[in-house]
Every structure is written in structure tokens, then in C-alpha cells.
Structure 1
Amino acid sequence: METKRTTRKLSTTVIVKAALLAAASIVLTRFFSYMIPLGGLPALRIGFGTVPLIIAGMMLGPLAGGIVGVVSDLTGFLINPMGSMFHPGFTVTAALYGVLSGVLFKKIKIQNMKVNFNYINAVMMVIFATLIAWIVFRGEGLDFGNSQTILMLVLMALVTALFIVLPFVISTKFKNKSSQIAFDKIAFAVSITYVINALFLNTLWLSMLLDKGFILLLPGRIVASVVTIPAYSWIIYSLSKVIKYTN
């Protein structure tokens, strides 16, 4: 009898937390974000609506985190489409924010590993940058003697270098024992989820939706990520001092 009551209580708690996080994501995304046009097209949304989705995965696990992402995207679009057409790919991306963070913190439990994830983050960023560059330049058939192509390569190299250096610098500055999760673990999770979802998948969905080349949309989104990834990481890290993300 006690087990049933405990299970019911836990289920209710999960539902309440999921609903609150979904609501927070909807409000932050649909009412407190700013759409920046790239090449005259609404291709870059600046805001913090993704943060509750990552937190949902950390707190509730990959399944619940994925559901929070789906609910927040579908409900948010119905409330305020922000002048854009619906594309199921963005719903998949929203779900993946919760799923990936849930896998890392609830299944793999990287927060318990005595490993400096800044080094792992550095290796992963180099791999992702190389992969994206290969896909883009091979798919677009770009000429490496072209100045635009060279500029893109330099930009990606600089951003990758920043992604590698910033976590080390911030981790050193924000060492706080009151935080339940070290900054390097959070920065790693945010970087992985953001690169896969925002830089790769969402850029792909936008190129399909707007009928524009992947490479035309990518540079501005890469530049924005230099600010977005550290900001997301710092916010989640700061909240970890007062919110219990993981058991």
C-alpha cells in the first residue's frame, strides 16, 4: 500500500514538474525571444526557451524530457506561431533537447564521473566542426579557392577554438561547492545538445522550410552559438545551486 502511494506521489510530482517546465519553455520561446533575420529571412531565434527542456531531461529523464519538448513545441506553435510555418522537424529537435540531456545525466550519469569533461568537450567540438564542414562543403560543391569558402572555414575554426577554450576558463572561474553538478559537465551537455539540435538539425529544417541552402543559413547561427552556449551553461549551472536536477 505504501509503495502504491509513493509511486502515485512520484508520478504526480513528475507530471507537475513537466508541466511547469513545458510552460516555462513556451513563455520564454513564444513571448520572450527575438527573431533575427538572416539574409532577409526569419532564420535565427534568440531566447532561452531551450533551457527548461534541457533541465527537464536532467530532472525527469530522457522520456519525460522528450515529452516536455514535444508538448512545449506543439502547444507553443498553436499559441503563437511567430509568423512561421509548422515543420515537424522542429518538434523532433525540441524533444531531443530533453532526451539527450536525460540520457547524459539520468542514464550515463556523467555528473558522478571523476573526469574533466572540458577535454571531452574539446574533442567532440573538433569532430562536430569537421563533420559539419565536410557535409556542407561536399554537399554544396564549394570551391576552396573562393574567398567565401575560406571565410567560412576560418569562422568555423575560430568558433570551434572558442568552444574549446571558454569551458576551461569559465570552469576555473565558477568553482563553487554549493553547486551539485560541476560546470564542465553542464557545459559538455549543453554543447553537445546545441550543436546537434540548433546548428545541424534546425539549420537543416530551416533550409528545407525556406528553400535556401544550408550554408547560407549556417554562418549567422554559428556566430550566435558563441554567446548562446556559454549563456545556457551558466544559467543551468547557477540554477543547480537551488534546484535538484539529479538524484
Structure 2
Amino acid sequence: MDKKFDVKKLIQISLLIAIEVILTRFCSIQTPIVRIGFGFLPIAVIAMMYGPLSAGIAYLIGDLLGMVLFPSGAYFPGFTFTAFLTGITYGVFLYNKPVTWSRIVGAACTVCLILNLGLDTYWLSIIMGKGYLALLPTRILKAALMIPVQSLIIGAIWKKVVIRFVKISHA
């Protein structure tokens, strides 16, 4: 592992963080209980290219920047923790391994079912003062929708963009 300071890597990750903030804050369907969007995509790309820790820190930074620049309610650190774990999860499944559909679907299921459905629903129950089970029906619907969406988009991006990007950046 190369520990030297890499300006190119920093710029690429910064650009992807900016895209994440835009996709999350401006290109999402937001309700008090559910947010459906594509902010996961730049983080998955960072995870594929630079690994779990880079993706986790990038999503953490993106979440904090999004809240500071474009607040959509009170800040709750649990969601930032979930964002960090999401980046880590994508990296564990997709970094430096053969990218297969089973890995992509595994990453999407882990993020959507354990982190978004499980952990985020818990955070919402704390914030809203509602029971965990009362929030589940809407959140289950979101997870059922987002697993195939995330899987297909991450698979398409990996095949079309990331492989070309890696070839260009190593040329």
C-alpha cells in the first residue's frame, strides 16, 4: 500500500464527494421517513477505486458537508456513522476483488437491509420518538426498491466507467 500523499487521488475523491452531495441534496426524493436518491454511487466508485477506509471517510465528509451547506433538518450523528459504515461496506465487497454480480448484490443488500433499514430506522425512531416497528413498512418498501436499483447501477458503472477510468489514470 502506497502511503505517500497523492494529489491526483485527493482531487478525484474530492470531486466524487461533491457529486455525492449534489446527488443526495438535490437529486433525491425526500420525505421525513425516507430518502430515495443516487448519492450512493460516487461512494461506491470511491470504494472500488480506493478501498473501504477512503470510501468511509469520503461519505462521512460528504454527509457533514451536505448538512453544513444544505441542511434539511437537525443534525444527528447517527446518520453520519451510517454513512461511514456504508463506504466501508462498499469497499469490503468491491475493492481489489473480482467484481461479480454476487459481490455487487451482496454490497447493496448489506447497505440497504442492515445499514439503511436497520440502523437508519433506529436513528429515525430516536429522532421522531416513534416506535421502530411503526417506521418499518415504508422503510422496507424503500429497501426493496433500492436493492435492485443500486445493484444494477453499480454494476453498469463498474463495467462502463470505472474500468476505463482505471486504465486512463494508469496510462
Q: TM-score, normalised by structure 1?
A: 0.62
Q: Which among 31, 53, 67 is matched to residue 63 of structure 1?
A: 53
- From 95, 101, 122, the equivalent of 2:90 is 101
Structural mapping, 1:79-118, within 5 Å: 79-82=69-72, 84-106=73-95, 109=97, 111=98
Cα RMSD after superposing both structures: 2.2
Q: 1:240 maps to which residue?
A: 158
- Is 1:222 the counterpart of 2:140? The answer is yes
Structure 1 gaps, min length 5? 37-41, 112-180
- Separation (CA, whole Å) in 2 of partners of 1:215 and 1:54: 29
* Aligned residue in 1 for 2:125: 207
Determine helix, strand or coil for the equivalent of 1:43: coil
Q: TM-score, normalised by structure 2?
A: 0.87
Gaps of 5+ in 2: none
1:30 and 2:25 correspond: yes
Which aligned pairs between 1:137-156 and structure 2 lie closer than 5 A? Answer: none
Deviations 1:82-127 (A, max 9, x none): 2x211000001111111111122337x3x2xxxxxxxxxxxxxxxx
- Tell whether 2:36 aligns with 1:46: yes
Question: Are 1:89 and 1:205, in contact at CA under 8 Å, matched by a contact in 2?
Answer: yes
8 Å Cα contact 1:187-1:233 kept in structure 2: yes
Counterpart-to-counterpart distance in 2, 1:73 and 1:222: 23
Partner amino acid, structure 2, of 1:74:
L
**CA distance in 2: counterparts of 1:47 and 1:100, whole angstroms:** 18
Aligned with residue 105 of structure 2, among 187, 201, 215 = 187
Alpha-carbon contact 1:54-1:98 (below 8 Å) kept: yes
In the comparison of the two structures, how many residue pairs are matched? 164
Contact 1:25 1:50 in 2 (8 A): yes
Aligned-partner Cα distance in 2 for 1:95–1:187: 19
Deviations 1:24-54 (A, max 9, x none): 1100111111113xxxxx1111111122222
Work out which of the two has the higher radius of gyration on C-alpha atoms and give 1 or 2: 1
1:15 to 10, 14, 24: 10
Letter aligned with residue 27 of structure 1: I
Structure 1 residue 78: deviation in Å?
A: 1.0
Q: Residue deviations 1:185-232, cap 9 Å, x none?
A: 211111112212100111011110111111111111101111111011
* Equivalent-residue separation in structure 1 for 2:88 and 2:166 (angstroms): 14
